[in-house]
């Protein structure tokens, strides 16, 4: 084999190798098993991912390498090389096409975004602990920015009274102490500046008891005329979830954990469902809801993981909001997100999706346990709902909706 062709084949095989093991870790982290088992399996995958290339190269040493023909050997190493090459090549051919469909054009009718440098607003970089400092060595780290993404979504069964209703969707705040309180205060100020009708928070809020006092001066400051709602996520289970819920409710938020709540939005009966599966059961009891034939209604679900999309569809939900996958936190050129703790891998890392009459929005989230982001800034999504027959208007983040947030 020509050395240049061999080098390219090895590079693609290495990519396939990385994607294979990362894909396995993604599936392990979608599972609600005991934390030590999940961590143990993750470590095993990491060690195998590091050692397999060395073992493969060693088995082919020196004869096949000397002949520039490692793929021609008749052993396990060559078989593994072929497997990785096929996986890498298939992914390179298919992933860019998949990325063009991430924000389903049948649903997302228009989009505008604006990124703010929160560190510049604060006049400092509030990152604490060695892990955060190491992450911040990456010169393009976006962990201390905030992107407001206005998305105009077409919801098939949107009642006329809810035309142009706005929902600010935020998720995955991961209050650990690694990112300082000031960042979250700015987050709340930016959300309020958008003046949404509703605020929805889809979990992974606080994972250290030291951060419980942060809830009132941050999420407790959020205001929306139709309510500020939340569910919790898997990382919230690192501390006492009942205490977190109690503090959030005391701060004025409405808890949807495993519940259905009947309310009215602009005179329309609205059913809100909160699903924290698979980590914090139970799922809300959908059978207790009045059928649409008896009561025309709008159904909105807050779920932590997009893996519950199927559940949302079975629950006949109109609009589902999810987080958990963080947009992958790092989005590679060509490939997009690759690290995404879902049983569907990176498919639902972020984006807008539709199955039947159910629309799903998956936010990139606000933070992460590891404060590192690249080509995937923290997101405040402002979702503007439209019906199928309404006209598309050019969305803008300028004008009366937005005023300068206070620091």
**What residues make contact with Fe ion under the rule CB under 5 A?**
172, 204
Q: What is the dihedral of CA 327, 382, 210, 241, to 10 degrees?
A: -80
Closer Cβ to Fe ion, 88 or 323, answer by number: 323
Q: Toward Fe ion, which CB reaches closer, 316 or 379?
A: 379
Please identify, using beta-carbon distances, which residue of 166 and 342 lies nearer to Fe ion. Answer: 342
Q: What angle do CA 363, 88, 61 make, to 5 degrees?
A: 135
How far, in Å, CA of 88 to CA of 272, rounded?
Answer: 42
Q: Which two tokens stand for residue 7?
A: 């080098």
Taking the complex as a whole, the smallest distance from the CB of residue 343 to Fe ion amounts, in Å, to 16
Rg, C-alpha atoms of the chain = 23
| Peptide linkage before 282 cis (omega within 30 of 0) | yes
Q: Which residue is nearest to Fe ion (CB)?
A: 204
Question: What is the C-alpha separation between 397 and 404, in angstroms, rounded?
Answer: 12
Pair 148, 116: CB distance under 8 Å: yes
Give yes or no for a cis peptide into 278 (omega within 30° of 0).
yes
In whole angstroms, how close is the CB of 281 to Fe ion at the nearest point?
Answer: 18
- Minimum separation from the CB atom of position 312 to Fe ion (A): 19
C-beta of 341: minimal distance to Fe ion in Å? 8
State which residue, 245 or 364, has the beta carbon closest to Fe ion: 364
Report, in Å, the least distance between residue 204 CB and Fe ion.
3
Instruction: Find the shortest distance in angstroms from Cβ 371 to Fe ion.
Output: 12
Comparison of 199 and 367: residue with beta carbon closer to Fe ion: 367
Backbone dihedral angles phi then psi of residue 300, each to the nearest 5 degrees: -125, 135
- Hey, is 166 helix, strand or coil? strand
| C-beta of 64 vs 172, nearer to Fe ion | 172
| Closer by beta carbon to Fe ion, 121 or else 204 | 204
Instruction: Tell me which residue of 171, 257, 250, 178 sits closest to 213, measured CA to CA.
Output: 250
CA 41/CA 29 separation, integer angstroms? 10
CB of 402 to Fe ion, least distance (A): 27
Give the span between the Cα atoms of 313 and 355, in whole angstroms. 7
**Residue among 39 and 357 whose Cβ is closer to Fe ion:** 39
What does 142-160 look like in DSSP terms, one character per residue? -TTEEEEEEEEEE-TT--G
Min dist. Cβ of residue 171 to Fe ion (A): 7
**Residue 183: count of CB within 10 angstroms of its CB:** 26
Residue 21 Cβ vs Fe ion, minimum distance, rounded to whole Å: 21
Residue with smaller CB distance to Fe ion, 88 or 203: 203
CB 110 within 8 A of CB 394: yes
Cis peptide before 255 (omega within 30 of 0): no
């Amino acid at each position: 084999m020509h050395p240049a062709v061999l080098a390219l084949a090895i590079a693609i095989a290495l990519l396939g190798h990385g994607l294979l093991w990362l894909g396995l870790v993604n599936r392990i982290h979608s599972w609600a098993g005991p934390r030590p088992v999940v961590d143990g399996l993750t470590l095993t995958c990491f060690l195998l991912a590091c050692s397999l290339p060395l073992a493969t190269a060693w088995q082919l040493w020196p004869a096949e390498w000397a002949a520039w023909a490692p793929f021609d050997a008749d052993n396990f190493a060559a078989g593994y090389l072929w497997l990785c090459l096929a996986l890498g090549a298939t992914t390179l051919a298919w992933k860019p096409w998949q990325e063009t469909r991430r924000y389903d054009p049948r649903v997302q009718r228009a989009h505008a975004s604006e990124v703010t440098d929160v560190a510049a607003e604060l006049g400092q970089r509030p990152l604490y602990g060695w892990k955060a400092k190491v992450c911040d060595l990456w010169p393009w780290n976006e962990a201390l920015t905030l992107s407001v993404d206005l998305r105009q979504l077409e919801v098939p069964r949107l009642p006329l009274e809810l035309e142009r209703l706005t929902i600010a969707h935020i998720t995955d705040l991961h209050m650990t102490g690694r990112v300082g309180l000031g960042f979250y205060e700015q987050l709340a100020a930016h959300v309020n500046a958008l003046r949404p009708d509703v605020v929805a928070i889809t979990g992974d809020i606080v994972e250290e008891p030291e951060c419980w006092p942060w809830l009132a001066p941050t999420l407790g400051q959020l205001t929306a005329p139709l309510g500020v709602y939340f569910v919790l996520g898997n990382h919230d289970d690192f501390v006492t979830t009942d205490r977190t819920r109690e503090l959030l409710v005391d701060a004025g938020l409405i808890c949807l954990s495993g519940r259905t709540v009947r309310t009215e939005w602009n005179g329309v009966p609205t059913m809100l469902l909160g699903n924290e599966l698979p980590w914090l059961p139970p799922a809300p009891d959908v059978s207790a809801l009045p059928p649409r034939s008896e009561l025309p209604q709008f159904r909105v679900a807050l779920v932590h993981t997009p893996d519950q999309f199927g559940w949302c569809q079975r629950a006949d939900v109109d609009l589902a909001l999810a987080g958990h996958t963080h947009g992958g936190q790092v989005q590679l050129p060509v490939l997009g997100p690759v690290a995404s703790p879902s049983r569907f891998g990176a498919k639902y890392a972020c984006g807008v999706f539709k199955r039947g009459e159910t629309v799903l929005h998956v936010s990139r989230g606000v933070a992460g346990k590891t404060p590192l982001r690249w080509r995937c800034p923290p997101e405040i999504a402002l979702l503007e709902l439209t019906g199928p027959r309404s006209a598309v208007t050019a969305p803008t983040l300028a004008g009366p909706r937005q005023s300068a947030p206070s620091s």
